[in-house]
Structure 1
Amino acid sequence: MGFPYQCLSTLGESTILCGSKGTNIYTFDIASRTLLSSWSHPFSRKGGLKVDSNSEDETGEEAPEKRAGELEAANGKHQGKNRKPKQPAPRLQEQPFVILITATSDGKHVVAVTGTDKTVWVLGHDGKGGLKQLSQRYEPVLDLPETVSDFRRAMHKRPSAIKITADGKTILCVDKFGDVYSLPLVPSTTAASEGSKASTPASTPAPQSAFTLKANEFTVHSARNLRALEDQRKALQLQAAKDTPKEAPSFEHELILGHVSMLTALAIASSGGKPYILTADRDEHIRVSRGIPQAYVIENFCLGHKAFISALCIPDSQPELLVSGGGDNELFLWNWLAGKLLYKVDLLVRVQEVVPDALKIAVTGIHSYHTERGSSVIAMCERVPALFVLEVQDNALVYVQTLNLSGNPLDAVVISNAENQPPRLAASVDPVIPAIADDSEMASDPVDQSLLLFSMEGDSWAAKPDVPLPAIETSDENLARPELDKLLYAVESLRKTNVEDADDGEHSTKGSVGQEDADSRDASEAA
């Protein structure tokens, strides 16, 4: 299955667009529709996706299916035609896909997060689309050569959101265990070396277990007892691993605030020249905290959501306002500093115009852009092939347009303020609808239907996308559809189905957009 662009970001006030696709990051010039550069995760350079098709496990023992088949044959249970041996289901090794991406306001740095290794990467941008890893030295990773593995900051828990402060010097990193960390964008060499020294006590050996094995291979002879001995050794190794203190990260970082619930969204705001940090969680809370270094001070809460919150957005030209959304049927508009709800607009009604049988929605993103009259926001929902445009007017959200797409939206950005260039809307989609043939000169060339560009026509966006960007093949193209769905569609799993369904009475989450069956995954497993 082809891998779509999962995350998008603009790079300053230019026509350069940055997007992540699998384990890679690409930059494009949307004016000329050309690929400028790319960056690949070191692990993807070392090897691609692999499928484990061996019939024996890592210990060298035969698979249970094989042993069961031999026992049945010995007992004479195989009669008539010989049944074909059951083939083991292929197991896909997890790849470090880029799950989050953002950039500084001047476009000089790109910050990305890869999920499997929970790592924050900082890339330098030369202003012309070229990306290069910073040369700060960190701990080795994945047994790669030292020249490759010196550029990472691996967090203890998988980040769920990242932002860069207004001064462009600090990264705020949120994880689903409720913690918010601050990391310097470009760490100093002195701080890194001090962090490395501080982590050395964690390398002390773990205390020896009171229980030791007295038997060994020379005193145990039967196959059954040998297997029991091996199981006991594995149990001791697991216990020793639990008793070993975790090694502290060797890079500069600071825990600045925390929730008692899973954090799902993050925004940065300012008022009266003072910075603030806005965080949202799975338990319907929006917390307004002071900025660094007083992030532990809670200024207010924005309370009113009845379902999880998954998206926060500060309108470009109205920084005193906040737009939020998640598992509720509405989008909320707040005066965030006062903790006051100003307006709610029904988004489910608009979704039902695209997906008629939808009963619930899961907002995956809210993005703001500047207009001549103020600010507008673009909202998107999980597994709904459309973008919904609303304008912020007089402390209200006014519906403007539904932009139908050829697939489920994954991310969207508006590229504006570029020199002598009209605004463009870039949307990454998971293609589910066959694309309409294009009569342009590029129609004969391979194009990427997972990255769409729209032009502004008057006060709204054109109904049809512009000429697509050239297609790019990656080593992640053979990812199976079920594996891809687990990666791309995880927001609906934040819903607390038992509690919320009781409040809704007859309405069931089986009608939710973005949920194919009743067995939703717990999002905490992804951490």
Structure 2
Amino acid sequence: MKHPYHIVSLSPDGKTMYAAAARQVDRICLETGECKSTVVEESATRTTTKTGDKPAAAKRTKYLPTSVSHVRSLQLSKGGKYLLATTDETKSLVLLDPTTLEVIKKVQYPKRPSAVATDKEDLNIVLGDKFGDVYGESVEDLLKVEGELKDEPVLGHVSMLTALELGYDSKDRPYVISADRDEHIRISRFPASHVIEQFCFGHQQFVSSLLINDLDASILFSAGGDDEIFVWDWLNGKQLQKLSLREHVESYLNEAHIYVDKKGVATTHKEITVSSLQQIKDTPYLLVNVESTNAIIVLKIVDNKLEVASVFATEAHVISFSVAGNLLVTSEVGSEGVKAYTITDGVVTKSDKEIPFGSCEYEDDSELISLFSTKSLRKRGEF
């Protein structure tokens, strides 16, 4: 069986799609259908352990399934010079040539990467990990690293880093915008990131998505485990708006969203988790997907506030989506391919465009990675 793409990412011109299926990265030319593939992560091995208090000869062998090795993130650098992949088991950042998929450099980090961003010139890369550390390196220095990175982090959070952006003020000075599992958004100078410029407080749950307004770089959008999309004047730490999604997605929520309380009892409340927040470049339109639903919500920016323009139902639950111009592509549950849609003035319609699909195969469900993992960032109380 073909492994579904758990990440899809379009080039800015919409002519190329990059995608990840487990350990494999594909590059698909949407004009010719040509597909190139490379494997960027090592295969995990299954380990065994002995259990029980019986004598050694009588002990039972229990197999502990390891998490399937996979590409954790895949994105083009802002300048388009590199395709960036982060890996799971090897805790690495992989720089790929966007045209050939040739590995330019693979750098291992001390802890597993959880978020990555680049500056607009592709000269610097910032990377956050599951322990809350953020590393800031020039690409020139990264290309010289052999084996594991030994440098010290430039800043740290007390919980897992979940999202990163590099923003700029009116004088073109760079800042690291970092978010974590503890609902915090922090604004730090770069590269002197020990200087905290501001915090953006307001989230009650984890933050998994950060997005700087393409039309006004002083505006930041954020989302995650809350019902709302937040709008910020990020340099001043000022919340401008929070727009609730619940009334627009309530009918799309299902048993996967049911909240289970501390005693393990299912309640009637259904939780919302935003899995992705993207903007159509040079337009006032944002696209949002709530994890484990088949809803694409289109938002419109009006005077630095958000309005719901439309809600579109895809054929199946969306695993990943990407947008470029008027083209929207989605990887959906139960589909051995990628679906294409057209966006016109905030309205989504089904497209006849056919998207080729890669050849990553799996034999049984033990080789299938988790397709809906953002909700696992939500903290639960102790029993």
Please confirm whether the aligned pair reaches a TM-score higher than 0.5, indicating the same fold.
yes
> Does residue 454 of the first structure (1) align with residue 303 of the second (2)?
no
Would the aligned equivalents of 2:154 and 2:194 in 1 still touch at CA under 8 Å?
yes
Going from structure 1 to structure 2, the CA distance change for 1:350 and 1:119 (only over 3 Å counts) comes to same
CA distance in 1, matches of 2:100, 2:58: 48
Q: How does 1:36-75 map to 2 (within 5 A)?
A: 36-41=35-40, 43=42, 64-65=59-60
> Does residue 488 of the first structure (1) align with residue 375 of the second (2)?
no
Secondary structure of 1:131's aligned partner? coil
Paired residues in the alignment total: 366
Match of 2:82 in 1: 109
CA distance in 1, matches of 2:49, 2:225: 42
Deviations 1:333-352 (A, max 9, x none): 11111111111111122221
Deviations 1:306-338 (A, max 9, x none): 122111111211211111111111111111111
Q: CA deviation at 1:14?
A: 5.4
Match of 2:182 in 1: 283
> Does residue 472 of the first structure (1) align with residue 350 of the second (2)?
no
Deviations 1:61-117 (A, max 9, x none): 656348xxxxxxxxxxxxxxxxxxxxx7x6555543111112123433111111111
Match of 1:295 in 2: 193
Would the aligned equivalents of 2:42 and 2:89 in 1 still touch at CA under 8 Å?
no
Going from structure 1 to structure 2, the CA distance change for 1:257 and 1:467 (only over 3 Å counts) comes to same
Q: What amino acid maps onto 1:23 in structure 2?
A: R
What TM-score does the superposition give when structure 2 sets the normalisation length?
A: 0.85
Q: CA deviation at 1:375?
A: 2.0
Secondary structure of 2:247's aligned partner? helix
Match of 1:401 in 2: 310
Q: Which is richer in helix?
A: 1
Match of 1:361 among 264, 269, 272: 272
Q: How does 1:357-436 map to 2 (within 5 A)?
A: 359-370=270-281, 374-416=283-325, 423-431=326-334
Q: How does 1:85-234 map to 2 (within 5 A)?
A: 92=65, 94-125=67-98, 129-134=99-104, 151-187=105-141, 191-192=144-145
Deviations 1:203-232 (A, max 9, x none): xxxxxxxxxxxxxxxxxxxxxxxxxxxxxx
Deviations 1:264-296 (A, max 9, x none): 11112111111111111122111111122x211
CA distance in 2, matches of 1:268, 1:118: 22
Deviations 1:9-60 (A, max 9, x none): 334545111111111111112234x13311113635xxxx77789999xxxx
Q: CA deviation at 1:409?
A: 2.3
CA distance in 1, matches of 2:275, 2:30: 25
Q: What amino acid maps onto 2:290 in structure 1?
A: C
CA distance in 2, matches of 1:259, 1:54: 34
Secondary structure of 1:478's aligned partner? coil
Match of 1:309 in 2: 207
Q: What amino acid maps onto 1:376 in structure 2?
A: Y
Would the aligned equivalents of 2:131 and 2:159 in 1 still touch at CA under 8 Å?
yes
Going from structure 1 to structure 2, the CA distance change for 1:186 and 1:467 (only over 3 Å counts) comes to same
Q: What amino acid maps onto 2:129 in structure 1?
A: D
Going from structure 1 to structure 2, the CA distance change for 1:62 and 1:369 (only over 3 Å counts) comes to farther
Deviations 1:374-409 (A, max 9, x none): 422111122112221101111211101222223332
Match of 1:35 in 2: 34
CA distance in 1, matches of 2:209, 2:379: 17
Would the aligned equivalents of 1:367 and 1:412 in 2 still touch at CA under 8 Å?
no
Match of 1:331 among 197, 215, 229: 229
CA distance in 2, matches of 1:258, 1:31: 43
Q: What amino acid maps onto 2:245 in structure 1?
A: L
CA distance in 1, matches of 2:121, 2:364: 39
What TM-score does the superposition give when structure 1 sets the normalisation length?
A: 0.63
Q: Percent identity?
A: 28
CA distance in 1, matches of 2:131, 2:376: 16
Max Rg structure = 1
Going from structure 1 to structure 2, the CA distance change for 1:63 and 1:115 (only over 3 Å counts) comes to farther
Secondary structure of 1:43's aligned partner? coil
Structure 1: runs of 5+ lacking an equivalent: 67-87, 135-150, 197-248, 417-422, 436-447, 500-518, 520-527
Would the aligned equivalents of 1:348 and 1:360 in 2 still touch at CA under 8 Å?
no
CA distance in 1, matches of 2:129, 2:167: 20
CA distance in 2, matches of 1:54, 1:257: 38
Would the aligned equivalents of 1:13 and 1:106 in 2 still touch at CA under 8 Å?
no
Would the aligned equivalents of 2:162 and 2:179 in 1 still touch at CA under 8 Å?
yes
Q: How does 1:239-278 map to 2 (within 5 A)?
A: 250-251=148-149, 253-272=151-170, 273-278=172-177
Q: CA deviation at 1:452?
A: 1.9
CA distance in 1, matches of 2:125, 2:211: 18
CA distance in 2, matches of 1:337, 1:261: 22
Would the aligned equivalents of 1:289 and 1:298 in 2 still touch at CA under 8 Å?
yes
Secondary structure of 1:276's aligned partner? strand
Would the aligned equivalents of 1:262 and 1:282 in 2 still touch at CA under 8 Å?
yes
CA distance in 1, matches of 2:6, 2:374: 14
Structure 2: runs of 5+ lacking an equivalent: 258-269
Match of 2:9 in 1: 9
CA distance in 1, matches of 2:75, 2:220: 20
CA distance in 2, matches of 1:488, 1:62: 40
CA distance in 2, matches of 1:95, 1:289: 35
The two structures, once aligned, show a CA RMSD in angstroms of 3.0
CA distance in 2, matches of 1:287, 1:251: 24
